[in-house]
Structure 1
Amino acid sequence: MRAGREVLRWSLLVVAVAVLAVFLVAQRQSVAVSYGRSPSSATLTGEGAAGELSDATVPSVAEMTALVAADPVVRLPGAVARWDETRVRAIGGDDTRILVAPPGLDEAERRRVKDVENATVRIIGTEVSGGIYVATPDDLPGWRAQFATGDVTGQVLALLAGLREQPSPPDRDDLRWREPTAAELTPVTAALDATGRYVGPGATLPRLPQEAARDAFPGGAWFVVLPAQPYGKPLPAYGPALHRLAPERPVVVMYGGWIEYHGPGAADFAEVAGASFYAQYGGRLSRYAYPQLNVLGAYLARVTDVRYAGLFDRPLPYRPFDPLRVALPALPWLFAGCVAGFVVLSIRTVRGAGRGRPGEVGPAGPPARLAGLSALAVELSLLTDARSDPALVRGVARLRAARSALDDGLPDRHVRGLLADAAAELDQAARDVRMPGYRPDVYLRGTLS
């Protein structure tokens, strides 16, 4: 029993040390933390790889310089940018010269536009630059106006203020919305019910990017794709209208190069997905003529990245079972339990060693016990009779053997065993003579204390 307790005690200590080691190793810092690896791959790639270059061309630098000198606003064929002329004239004055070029120009053609030195403001697509400055939106209303209707009023005003070292005017969201009419909404809902997508007249989307759509919205979504909307006119708000018809259905609406999301989690999810997408790709979208298929695919890839990042209550992909990750919170408690068990068993061991067998009283070593038991044997010899003499004789023999073992330097365990046997025999002799005070546990307690 004692041996089993010793094995259990030391086993608990070994387990405690192992648990502590595992826990400490698991605490090492890591810089690669994610909720899952996003499968998205669609992106807006380098120049010429995604059909973003158009067939538009621009005149020579000399020809454009002459055009700008003759007219304060020069719009080259294919130009799409628009602005509030009254507000621009108020801050820019009559000497402001604006050159507007189409989107999708290659590097050489863009360089020619930027070399027109008498142009105060140069606009390529919806990218606004002048002098050493490039003006870009920095919020969703600015990007929405730019890519949905080609409105660059905010950028032009900010650029002119910078060139004239004046305070920038406050941002304004001049984009207006209206409820779609029944005649507008009916064909949209019919197409969505039939195929899950509606492509309006003038839009260039030939098909949905199926893989990107499936990764972004595994449960399916509605897609409404429209061309860029006329500048200065209210936009039909298809997203809110469709969301009211199907509150649990994700709805993606595209106006030209602007994409917005309506549906579950839109209050948080739509803003994060939109802001991160246009903050990264707004510069390329402003100067190139990307097909709507590429823009939508890249946006859906960003939606997938955000969903896999675990930022919102979106379904996450399957994650293999990790025993360490599951057990890690319990390791400190397991360590504490093992340490507590080791301490309790150690206390019991120490107490058991103190009590021992008959005659092993107190912390005294074998020499002291031998002396005490020898004195007890002498006193008992004066009291024994024929009935108790055999026990006394056996006890004295064990004491002599213990003396010899001590003199020969034998292990303490052997000596203690002989002393225990001697104490048992003397205990029997004390019981035979009916002298409780001469029982070894009582006699030695007084002698060795």
Structure 2
Amino acid sequence: MAALVFFLVSQRAETIDVSYAQSPTSSESREGNKDAGLSDASVPPVDELVARLQAERVVRLPGAVAHWDEARVDQLIGGRDARILVAPPGLDEAERKRISEAKSQVDGDEREVVTIVGTTVSGGILEVSPSTLDERRAEFAVGDVTGLISYLLAHLWKQPVADSAPDFRWREPTAAELAPVEAALRADGRYTADGATLTGVPGEAARQAFDGAEPLVAAFPRQPFGEPVPDYGPALTARFPARPIVVLYGLWVSYHGPNADAFADVAAASTYAQFGSHLSSRAYPQDAVLGVYLDRVIDIRYAGLFDRPLPYQPPDPLRVTLPVLPWVFAGCVAVFVALSARAVRKPRGLARGTGAGARLGALTALAIEVSGLTDGESDVALTVALAKLDSAREAIEEGRKPDVFLAEAHSQLDEVARLLGRTDYRPDVYVGRQLV
């Protein structure tokens, strides 16, 4: 009952004055116009592409960024006829059309052509997208599309899907690698490695994203495929423990620093779930990707998920109810045992241990109850029993022992029960039941 009362009381309507401001970022798509993210890459004419696809198993065009584990993919292909066309990101509509026409001329019932534009993998009428953050990180930080190719071919050939987990490995940066990064961050809060495309950090968005704190930003180009990637985030966090730190590897953005466990994965999953397929086929600079990421962090913070008071939540009655249940159960068992102990007491022993007056009353009640059922021989036995009971009553009134009369009345009533064929009217049974 106490647990029930606590549960009901905790359900009372409670209110709290909590409001969240409107995020200052634009609610419109950040993808930009249709010409954004185009590169100066060129695609050969259709005839040249067809000739190369017929002659070569893998055709890699200049500027292509995708890589894969050739041993794993070759093992999956086996003796089948498959071609892979790898194109750079940022192609315009005319270049995409040339690739599509070349593919349609080479592709057939006995040959499968896989096209990779940037890191977007497609074949037949299908296009494959990563489903985990690890796969997205391998795609944008290294250009690894091994799992995407394997999944696509297995699906096209109706085979069991092999393990598609990317072979992405971290390593600690060396002192020589870390020193220039740390020095640049201490100097002006930004480091851009050779080959990186970051030219500036949107200061206002960065401060809004991290509650007024200016983040440290380190940008690196897409990392070499097949080699462990230096993990600058933890190393820089150890040197700048109170500062937000953003590290870019190619088009992959990772956050380290205060509250990283709370929202880093949420921000990354949200950003790349919405823009991943667009980023994989376009040639965006790191500035654009960082801006999109910072806007998403601002949206998440203004949504009230982190660093803000949450609306009232009633206490969970389950935390009180569960500890009480064993004690409630033990109390029920104790009551059950107590009631059962009273029920197993012997009627006969109780009847024999009672006084003469109580025995006389019980036998008299039995005689009255069977009087309407007797006839013939049972009438005679009942008459004798009534006489003995009258004698026992007189003996008790005069202070004499009535045991002899009660014993004879008991015997006669037992005979009545035998003649009637009713064992429930035997004195031992009936008298015991009356005296319990």
CA distance in 2, matches of 1:148, 1:169: 23
Among 14, 32, 48, the alignment partner of 1:45 is: 32
CA distance in 2, matches of 1:72, 1:314: 56
Match of 1:101 in 2: 87
Compute the displacement of 1:66 (Å). 1.2
Among 276, 285, 295, the alignment partner of 1:291 is: 285
Residues paired across the two proteins, number: 288
Determine what percentage of the aligned residue pairs are the same residue: 57
Matched, 1:225 2:219: yes
Compute the displacement of 1:61 (Å). 2.2
Match of 2:416 in 1: none
Match of 1:387 in 2: none
Any residues of structure 2 matched to 1:116-265 within 5 Å, and which?
A: 116-117=103-104, 118=106, 120-217=113-210, 218-265=212-259
Compute the displacement of 1:314 (Å). 6.0
CA distance in 2, matches of 1:183, 1:144: 25
Match of 1:71 in 2: 56
SS at match of 1:40: coil
CA contact (8 A) 1:307 1:315 kept: no
- Amino acid corresponding to residue 73 of structure 2 in structure 1: V
CA contact (8 A) 1:44 1:295 kept: no
Q: Deviations over 1:378-432 (max 9, x none)?
A: xxxxxxxxxxxxxxxxxxxxxxxxxxxxxxxxxxxxxxxxxxxxxxxxxxxxxxx
Match of 1:58 in 2: 43
Q: Deviations over 1:68-126 (max 9, x none)?
A: 00001000111111000111111122411000111000122112212212252000010
Say if 1:83 and 1:65 are closer, same or farther in 2 by CA, change over 3 A. Answer: same
Q: TM-score, normalised by structure 2?
A: 0.63
Compute the displacement of 1:167 (Å). 2.0
Compute the displacement of 1:62 (Å). 2.4
Q: Deviations over 1:362-391 (max 9, x none)?
A: xxxxxxxxxxxxxxxxxxxxxxxxxxxxxx
Q: Larger relative contact order (C-alpha < 8 A, sep ≥ 6)?
A: 1
Match of 2:74 in 1: 89
Any residues of structure 2 matched to 1:308-327 within 5 Å, and which?
A: 308-313=302-307
- Amino acid corresponding to residue 236 of structure 1 in structure 2: P
CA distance in 1, matches of 2:239, 2:60: 42
Match of 2:269 in 1: 275
- Amino acid corresponding to residue 52 of structure 2 in structure 1: L
SS at match of 1:223: strand
Compute the displacement of 1:315 (Å). 9.6
SS at match of 2:82: coil
CA distance in 2, matches of 1:179, 1:219: 27
CA contact (8 A) 1:43 1:297 kept: no
CA contact (8 A) 2:38 2:282 kept: yes
Compute the displacement of 1:211 (Å). 2.4
Structure 1 residues not aligned, in runs of 5+? 1-23, 28-32, 317-324, 327-449
Poorly superposed stretches of 4+, deviation over 4 Å: none
CA distance in 1, matches of 2:309, 2:290: 21
CA contact (8 A) 2:151 2:164 kept: no
Match of 2:424 in 1: none
- Amino acid corresponding to residue 180 of structure 2 in structure 1: P
CA distance in 2, matches of 1:310, 1:238: 30
- Amino acid corresponding to residue 171 of structure 1 in structure 2: S
SS at match of 1:307: helix
CA distance in 2, matches of 1:302, 1:315: 20
Match of 1:377 in 2: none
